[in-house]
């Protein structure tokens, strides 16, 4: 807890992050790539933000991340090339080599029952809601796509995803440990994505999760917002599983 600051928000993502529904034009376009939030009149704003938008996926990796060495963690990486170009498959090496250590990186971790396309749509909505028509300096925005597709059977679905967040937390911690320590990082976690986030920061700080630790873990200062967090209210206390 002493290494990272968090804001716990117990209101739905749709209201807090998106600030209301996107206009039909913006909502339709969001599936392809980043868009700007609609104004109060329902129109897309005319601010041409130059954010660097990425998609990093662990959907193909499986859950037992502790069975993989550092060199074997092959994250799937895509970068948004702009309108008319769309998403371009690239590499983690490209992500790190093209980084500006002074530019803030914001990571959005979606919740449960989110497939590949929905992760992109929700990520774009979250980005538009947070940044909107703002003229603040461009950021690097990362959509963290993890295997949270809906499973048949409501109880089974929740139990499987709850267990899956432990491995996903290790993946996210591994990724964060390789980001430049000078880069300011913010994480927005929703529902089970909030559990992935707090678990990752616990592991990154040298903690143990699901009986496993991260080799050479080094805590870093991180800004965090948790929305509709699927986390027990005592988990962030000293001595608890995500302290």
Q: How confident is the model at residue 44, as a pLDDT?
A: 52
Alpha-carbon span 122 to 117, nearest angstrom: 9
Q: How confident is the model at residue 50, as a pLDDT?
A: 87
Domain containing 214 equals: 4-30+51-227
Which residues neighbour 116 within 8 Å (Cβ) at sequence distance 6 or greater?
57, 59, 145
Residue 163 within a domain: yes
Which residues neighbour 184 within 8 Å (Cβ) at sequence distance 6 or greater?
104, 105, 223
Q: Specify the DSSP class assigned to residue 12.
A: -
Q: What is the largest CA-CA distance in the chain?
A: 52
Q: How confident is the model at residue 71, as a pLDDT?
A: 60
Alpha-carbon span 99 to 183, nearest angstrom: 9
Q: How confident is the model at residue 87, as a pLDDT?
A: 96
User: Residue 84: phi, psi to the nearest 5?
Assistant: 85, -15
Token digits of residue 211: 């009986």
- CB contact at 8 A, 120 and 114: no
Q: Give kind and range of the element (H or E) at residue 204.
A: helix 192-204
Token digits of residue 235: 């988990």
Low-confidence ranges of the chain (pLDDT < 50): 1-31, 36-43
Residue 238 within a domain: no
Residue 92 within a domain: yes
Q: How confident is the model at residue 1, as a pLDDT?
A: 43
Cα dist. 186→162, 192, 222, 231 in Å?
23, 17, 6, 19
Residue 239 within a domain: no
Q: How confident is the model at residue 20, as a pLDDT?
A: 32
Mode of pairing for the β-strands spanning 185-190 and 105-109: parallel
Could you give the number of structural domains in the chain? 1
**5-52 residue pLDDT tens:** 444 443 333 323 333 333 333 333 444 566 543 333 344 555 568 899
Token digits of residue 67: 């069975």
Q: How confident is the model at residue 133, as a pLDDT?
A: 77
Residue 165 within a domain: yes
SS3 69: coil
Mode of pairing for the β-strands spanning 52-57 and 76-80: antiparallel
Residue 13 within a domain: yes
Q: How confident is the model at residue 227, as a pLDDT?
A: 94
């Amino acid at each position: 807890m002493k290494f990272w600051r968090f804001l716990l928000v117990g209101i739905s993502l749709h209201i807090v992050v998106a600030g209301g529904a996107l206009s039909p034009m913006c909502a339709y376009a969001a599936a392809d790539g980043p868009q700007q939030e609609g104004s109060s009149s329902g129109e897309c704003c005319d601010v041409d933000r130059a954010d660097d938008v990425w998609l990093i996926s662990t959907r193909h990796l499986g859950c037992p991340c502790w069975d993989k060495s550092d060199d074997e963690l092959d994250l799937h990486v895509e970068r948004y090339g702009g309108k008319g170009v769309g998403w371009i498959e690239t590499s983690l090496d490209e992500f790190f080599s093209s980084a500006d250590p002074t530019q803030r990186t914001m990571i959005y971790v979606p919740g449960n029952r989110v497939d590949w396309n929905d992760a992109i749509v929700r990520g774009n909505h979250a980005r538009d809601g947070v940044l909107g028509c703002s003229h603040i300096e461009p950021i690097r925005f990362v959509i963290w796509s993890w295997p949270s597709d809906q499973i048949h059977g409501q109880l089974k679905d929740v139990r499987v995803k709850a267990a899956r967040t432990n491995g996903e937390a290790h993946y996210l911690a591994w990724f964060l440990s390789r980001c430049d320590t000078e880069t300011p990082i913010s994480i927005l976690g929703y529902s089970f994505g909030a559990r992935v986030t707090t678990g990752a920061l616990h592991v990154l700080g040298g903690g143990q999760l699901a009986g496993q630790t991260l080799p050479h873990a080094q805590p870093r200062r991180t800004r965090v917002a948790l929305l509709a967090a699927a986390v027990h209210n005592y988990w962030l206390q000293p001595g608890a599983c995500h302290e």
